[in-house]
């Protein structure tokens, strides 16, 4: 069994933010399967997130999506989170479901529509004021489907203008993170398709504007860990949306499709100072559980991240540095792969127990009867994505 004692405190500093929408019914555009017992409102989503935190000790905060998580009193929602041992995290804006945004939101050529999209973001910042949230996350569906459809350059200029009015409203301790995605729902061009565009846009705004990297938002074969390295180097990596994909933006459980990629990403996070209590990088999940149990899906996800983090922390850095400086290509690769191949599950079981957590969070959740109680008491759970 590997010895985790040297990295025990680092592991204890790990925090992963859960997406409220992972607890509701959501899935693909073909079919959303209904799961009995799912939350009927944002309060119940937070209760479910609290169950994940009780089992794993890894997830002290929950991200909200507006208007999916619209409530009358956000102070009350924040108090409910506190009572459940959580805090409210990132506020996600949503300009991708209103018919007015057919041709764009923050990039729209019509100033009235653009203002409507800006106002939605200002409302999100008001919610952040009420919840104590630090980050406003912006992902835009904006783009075009056909060459010549619109002036890409003018759209980029309007985006810069809109973002700066939103940025101007942020409080001193609040940040904005701009997420990119290479395609979908726009298929010819997206207005924020890649990390370069996101970086250029946020750099113009100021220190509290950063990039959000969703691991499912790149072309197949992209070296995502290189992007992580570069953004950390520039001091501009604000947050992650973790998930995994086989083909496109699949939103599957992080670490399920390509565990080695997750290892490589976390290795660059640690290398670049993005991990630990001194770091300001937010680790979020952005997943949809269509066919699997939702709370179990979240538990599996955070355990995958924790296991991979433990393996990364076990990389023999001295041996790696020696092999690198000796130009020993295969030895360096072997040191790296040795850490990746280390089975940390038993050691993490003991580490959790030593901290008063269930050694096996998944088994503890199944034994707790939490899901069974919800199936009995919650009738008519809503679909996350269209429930506002």
Residues that bind ligand LRH (CB under 6 A): 92, 139, 179, 181, 214, 241, 249, 286
Q: Residue 135's binding partner, choosing from ligand LRH, Mn ion, none, with beta-carbon cut-off 5 to 8 A by kind?
A: none
* Residue span binding Mn ion (CB under 5 A) among the ranges 106-114, 125-133, 164-172, 249-257: 249-257
Question: In the complex, what is the shortest distance from the CB of residue 306 to ligand LRH, in angstroms, rounded to a whole number?
Answer: 22
| Distance, CA of 284 to chain centre | 3
CA distance 182 to 178: 13
User: Is the CB of 142 or the CB of 286 nearer to ligand LRH?
Assistant: 286
Judged by CB, which is closer to Mn ion: 192, or 308? 192
Q: What is the DSSP string of 11-66?
A: HHT---EEEGGGSSB---SS-----TT--SSHHHHHHHHHHHHHHHS---EEEEET
Q: Which of 276, 220, 216, 277 is nearest to 250 (CA)?
A: 216
With CB cut-offs between 5 and 8 Å by kind, which of ligand LRH, Mn ion, none does residue 92 bind? ligand LRH
Can you tell me which of 142, 241, 307, 371 binds Mn ion, judged by CB under 5 A?
A: 241
Total number of residues that touch Mn ion (CB under 5 A): 4
Tell me the closest approach of the beta carbon of residue 129 to ligand LRH, in angstroms. 21
166-203 b/e with 16+ CB inside 10 Å = b? bbeebeeebbbbbbbbeeeebeebbbbbbbebbbebbe
* Residue 275: CB atoms within 10 Å: 20
- Least separation, in Å, of the C-beta of 73 and ligand LRH? 23
Between 68 and 275, whose beta carbon lies closer to ligand LRH?
68
> In the bound complex, what is the minimum distance in angstroms from residue 345's beta carbon to Mn ion?
28
- Pick from 214, 225, 287, 296 the residue near Mn ion by CB under 5 A: 214
Instruction: Report, in Å, the least distance between residue 139 CB and Mn ion.
Output: 6
Element (H, E) at 210: strand 209-214
Stretch that binds Mn ion, among 33-41, 206-214, 311-319, 354-362 (CB under 5 A): 206-214
Nearer to Mn ion, 288 or 344 (CB): 288
If binding is defined by CB under 5 A, does position 249 make contact with Mn ion?
yes
Nearer to ligand LRH, 17 or 249 (CB): 249
Q: How far is the CB of 388 from ligand LRH (least distance, A)?
A: 13
Alpha carbons 42 and 16: distance in angstroms, whole number: 19
| Among candidate residues 50, 95, 150, 52, the one with its CA nearest the CA of residue 358 | 52
Q: Which residue is nearest to ligand LRH (CB)?
A: 139
Q: Which is nearer to ligand LRH, 241 or 296 (CB)?
A: 241
Q: Shortest Cβ distance from residue 216 to Mn ion (Å)? A: 5
Interaxial angle between packed helices 329-340 and 317-325, expressed in degrees from 0 to 180 and rounded to the nearest 10: 160
207-241 as b/e: b if 16+ CB within 10 A: ebbbbbbbbbbbeeeeebbebbbbbbeeebbbbbb
Minimum distance of ligand LRH from residue 242's CB (angstroms):
11
Structural contact between residues 253 and 242, judged by C-beta atoms closer than 8 angstroms? no
Stretch that binds Mn ion, among 1-9, 72-80, 207-215, 343-351 (CB under 5 A): 207-215
DSSP 52-114: HHHHHS---EEEEETTTT--S-HHHHHHHHHHTT-EEEEEEP--SSSGGGTT-STT-SSHHHH
Per DSSP, 383 falls in state B
Q: If you write DSSP's letter for every residue of 119-136 in order, what string do you get? A: HHHHHHHHHHHHHT--EE
Among 191, 286, 307, 371, binds Mn ion (CB under 5 A): 286
Nearer to ligand LRH, 262 or 332 (CB): 262
23 versus 351: smaller Cβ distance to ligand LRH: 23
Of 52-60, 84-92, 210-218, 319-327: span binding Mn ion (CB under 5 A)? 210-218
Chain residues binding Mn ion by CB under 5 A are 214, 241, 249, 286
């Amino acid at each position: 069994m590997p010895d985790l004692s040297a990295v025990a405190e680092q592991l204890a500093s790990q925090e992963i933010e859960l997406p409220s929408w992972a607890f509701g019914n959501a899935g693909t555009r073909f079919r959303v399967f209904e799961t009995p017992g799912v939350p009927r409102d944002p309060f119940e989503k937070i209760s479910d997130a609290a169950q994940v935190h009780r089992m794993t000790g890894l997830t002290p905060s929950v991200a909200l999506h507006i208007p999916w998580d619209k409530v009358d009193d956000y102070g009350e929602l924040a108090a409910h989170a506190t009572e459940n041992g959580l805090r409210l995290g990132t506020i996600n804006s949503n300009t991708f479901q209103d018919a007015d945004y057919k041709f764009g939101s923050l990039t729209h050529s019509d100033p009235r529509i653009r203002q409507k999209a800006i106002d939605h973001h200002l409302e999100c910042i008001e919610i952040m004021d009420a919840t104590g949230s630090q980050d406003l996350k912006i992902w835009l569906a904006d783009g075009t489907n056909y060459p010549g459809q619109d002036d890409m350059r003018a759209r980029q200029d309007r985006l810069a203008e809109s973002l700066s009015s939103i940025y101007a409203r942020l409080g001193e301790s609040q940040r904005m993170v701009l997420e990119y995605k290479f395609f979908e729902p726009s298929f010819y061009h997206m207005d924020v398709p890649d990390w370069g565009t996101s970086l250029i846009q946020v750099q113009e705004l100021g220190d509290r504007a950063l990039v959000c990297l969703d691991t499912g938002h790149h072309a197949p074969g992209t070296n995502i860990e290189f992007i992580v390295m570069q953004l950390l180097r520039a001091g501009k990596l604000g947050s992650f949306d973790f998930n995994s994909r086989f083909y496109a933006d699949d939103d599957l459980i992080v670490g399920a499709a390509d565990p080695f990629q997750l290892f490589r990403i976390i290795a660059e996070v640690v290398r670049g100072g993005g991990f630990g209590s001194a770091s300001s990088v937010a680790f979020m999940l952005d997943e949809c559980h269509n066919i699997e149990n939702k709370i179990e899906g979240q538990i599996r996800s955070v355990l995958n991240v924790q296991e991979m983090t433990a393996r990364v922390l076990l990389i023999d850095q001295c041996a790696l540095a020696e092999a690198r400086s000796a130009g020993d290509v295969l030895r360096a690769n072997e040191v790296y792969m040795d850490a990746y191949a280390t089975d940390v599950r038993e050691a993490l079981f003991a580490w959790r127990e030593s901290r008063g957590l269930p050694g096996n969070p998944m088994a503890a959740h199944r034994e707790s009867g939490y899901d069974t109680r919800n199936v009995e008491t919650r009738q008519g759970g809503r679909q996350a994505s269209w429930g506002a």
